Chain A
Amino acid sequence: MERHFHEEFKGLREKLFQMGLLVEGAVEKSVQAFLSRKMELIEEVLEDEKLINQLEIEIDEKGHTLFALTQPVAIDLRLLTMILKINTDLERMGDHAVNIAEKSKYLISQSPLAPEFPIEPMAKAVQKMVRDTLDSFMNENVSLARKVLESDDMIDSYNDKIYMDVASLMEKDPQTVRRALSVLMIGRNLERIADLANNIAEDTIYLIQGKEVRHHFEGT
């Protein structure tokens, strides 16, 4: 039997998804700002972040009210708990997008660095993780969530590569230190976004299957 409050659960889930789309857009814009040196995108990321923060509060408040009024159990309990966790993770992703935008702002104001860092392929992979993790949550797609978890190693190796490239550039030309560190920070923030996408994928699997996969816990 559908209970009258299930409609409220559904609305909350959709709202979270909307927030996810906004985060997804902010991440893309922040990276595009760096890659195509477009200053106007930075402003948009900052605007997006305000909306993201506002949604975080709305979703939190609504979630708490639903906890108090419906005393959820089983799948309802998992859904509400995961919504609140994912809400926090998405808001953090938004913060990382802002960090990327700020570093991009500095880099746009300076002359470009000569070497090619693998920011673009890394960003593409991270964006795909964000997109897939949101879709897996919304469509309750466990296999897609598992694919997200498998992508993490690739992101780490991109991050290592950026670290090595940045280190060797700074050794060769100390004039580049500030700019190179900014690139390093962009990589670092992308890596954190991927980690948070991973968290959401793990939470999605728990939501759907009630199965704990965090910290390689599965099967134990």
Chain B
Amino acid sequence: MLIAEENQGTREKIKMGTRTLAGGVLVDREDVTLNPVKIFSQELDMFYGSVQALHGITMEIKERAVTALIGPSGCGKSTFLRTLNRMNDTIPGARIKGSVKIDGIDIYEPGVNVAVLRRMVGMVFQKQNPFPKSIFDNVAYGPRLHGITDKAVLENIVEESLKKSAIWEEVKDRLDTSAMQLSGGQQQRLCIARVLAVDPEIILMDEPASALDPLSTAKIEELIRQLRKNYTIVIVTHNMQQAARVSDYTAYFYMGSMVEFGETRKIFTNPVKKETEDYITGRFG
């Protein structure tokens, strides 16, 4: 009689001589390495006038995965993020060379509808920026802009978006109150709901939790992990621990170049480049 078998209760059993282990499976982050590529940036250069801000960035961003962009201030990570939905177009003198393809389509080709692109590629900013309107109207704003007027449809979109952004339970009884009355963390989740309301496929986040307290930050991080099941997420963060916790892939930028890109668990345990190691261990900068 094997000792383990005598002891019932929560104990898993192993049988003498069978060499099999029941249960006790190591849980890994869901493997996303086989997911298709959603965004492909190829030899991407970016210029502000005569100043080159990005140098030949080639990166494959996987669908339904979180990709974190890290690096010191001015390294180009936010600039790169903003090239993914052509937010840099609004800056005078900004131009690019190379290409950014989403689902195989070059978003910088003439004829691309930028409004449609930005609906498909939503963005969440560092500073939460709700409109001075009710919670409901904040979320319904995008769908209304896209022509949805049916009240029941709008109500459904608002509820679903608020649920997906994990704030529904906190606001469902006060949808008519001003969004400005919400806490910073709630406002940020509302802004995420606003992005979700127009049914994007990709969500870009630029330091989404850097202005929040630790608990609100944790909620945003958990939300990112939830959203990744259905959306492709690219996040810029100064907080390397945050990148480690939430992302599947990490890219390290320095002086406009991408120094290293790879699976987060590899980057944070055994990076290939010494520069990456120096940065993530705080030896540099």
Q: How far is the CA of A8 from the CA of B265 in the complex (A)?
A: 13
Contacts of B19 in A (CB 8 A): 47-48, 51
Point out the residue from A4, A44, A62 that lies within 8 Å of B225, measured CB to CB. A4
Q: Does B114 contact A (CB under 8 A)?
A: no
**Given A18-B12, A18-B21, is A24 in contact with B27 using a C-beta cutoff of 8 Å?**
no
Is A10 a contact partner of B27 (Cβ separation < 8 A)? yes
Point out the residue from B11, B215, B225, B244 that lies within 8 Å of A68, measured CB to CB. B244
Q: Does B90 contact A (CB under 8 A)?
A: no
Is B14 a contact partner of A3 (Cβ separation < 8 A)? no
Question: How far, in Å, is B14 (CB) from chain A's closest CB?
Answer: 5
Question: How far, in Å, is B187 (CB) from chain A's closest CB?
Answer: 19
Contacts of B28 in A (CB 8 A): 8, 62
Q: Does B25 contact A (CB under 8 A)?
A: yes
> CB-defined interface of B215-248 with A at 8 Å, one 1/0 digit per residue?
1001101100100000000000000010011000
Q: Does A156 contact B (CB under 8 A)?
A: no
Q: Does B50 contact A (CB under 8 A)?
A: no
Is B268 a contact partner of A28 (Cβ separation < 8 A)? no
**Given A8-B28, A8-B29, A71-B244, is A139 in contact with B10 using a C-beta cutoff of 8 Å?**
yes
Q: How far is the CA of A41 from the CA of B269 in the complex (A)?
A: 40
Q: Does B23 contact A (CB under 8 A)?
A: yes
Q: Does B111 contact A (CB under 8 A)?
A: no
Q: Does A106 contact B (CB under 8 A)?
A: no
Q: Is the interface on chain B under 10, 10 to 19, 20 to 34, or 35 or more residues?
A: 20 to 34
Is B14 a contact partner of A22 (Cβ separation < 8 A)? yes
Contacts of A8 in B (CB 8 A): 26-29
Q: Does A205 contact B (CB under 8 A)?
A: no
Closest chain B residue to A18, Cβ basis: B24
Residue among B3, B7, B11, B269 facing the most chain A CB atoms (10 A cut-off): B3
Q: Does A204 contact B (CB under 8 A)?
A: no
Q: Which residues of B1-39 have CB atoms within 8 Å of chain A's CB atoms?
A: 2-4, 7, 10-14, 16-17, 19, 21-29
Is B269 a contact partner of A65 (Cβ separation < 8 A)? yes
**Given A8-B27, A58-B26, A68-B269, is A3 in contact with B218 using a C-beta cutoff of 8 Å?**
yes
Q: How far is the CA of A65 from the CA of B269 in the complex (A)?
A: 6
Q: Does B88 contact A (CB under 8 A)?
A: no
Point out the residue from B11, B22, B23, B241 that lies within 8 Å of A135, measured CB to CB. B11
Is B24 a contact partner of A17 (Cβ separation < 8 A)? yes
Q: How far is the CA of A7 from the CA of B30 in the complex (A)?
A: 12
Q: How far is the CA of A138 from the CA of B9 in the complex (A)?
A: 11
Q: Does B161 contact A (CB under 8 A)?
A: no
Q: Which residues of A13-27 have CB atoms within 8 Å of chain B's CB atoms?
A: 14-19, 21-22, 24-25
Q: Does B264 contact A (CB under 8 A)?
A: yes
Question: How far, in Å, is B218 (CB) from chain A's closest CB?
Answer: 6
**Given A1-B218, A139-B10, is A28 in contact with B26 using a C-beta cutoff of 8 Å?**
no
Closest chain A residue to B219, Cβ basis: A1
Is A18 a contact partner of B23 (Cβ separation < 8 A)? yes
Question: How far, in Å, is A87 (CB) from chain B's closest CB?
Answer: 12
> CB-defined interface of A111-146 with B at 8 Å, one 1/0 digit per residue?
000000000000000010001000100110000000
Question: How far, in Å, is A143 (CB) from chain B's closest CB?
Answer: 16
Point out the residue from A11, A25, A28 that lies within 8 Å of B25, measured CB to CB. A11
Q: Report the 9 A-B pairs with minimum CB-CB distance, sorted nearest first.
A: A18-B24, A11-B27, A68-B268, A14-B24, A15-B24, A4-B225, A69-B244, A68-B269, A8-B27
A-B contact pairs, 28 of them (CB 8 A): A1-B219, A1-B222, A3-B221, A4-B222, A8-B26, A8-B28, A8-B29, A11-B24, A11-B25, A14-B23, A14-B24, A15-B24, A16-B24, A18-B12, A18-B21, A18-B24, A19-B24, A24-B3, A25-B4, A25-B14, A51-B21, A59-B26, A65-B269, A68-B244, A69-B268, A71-B241, A127-B3, A131-B3
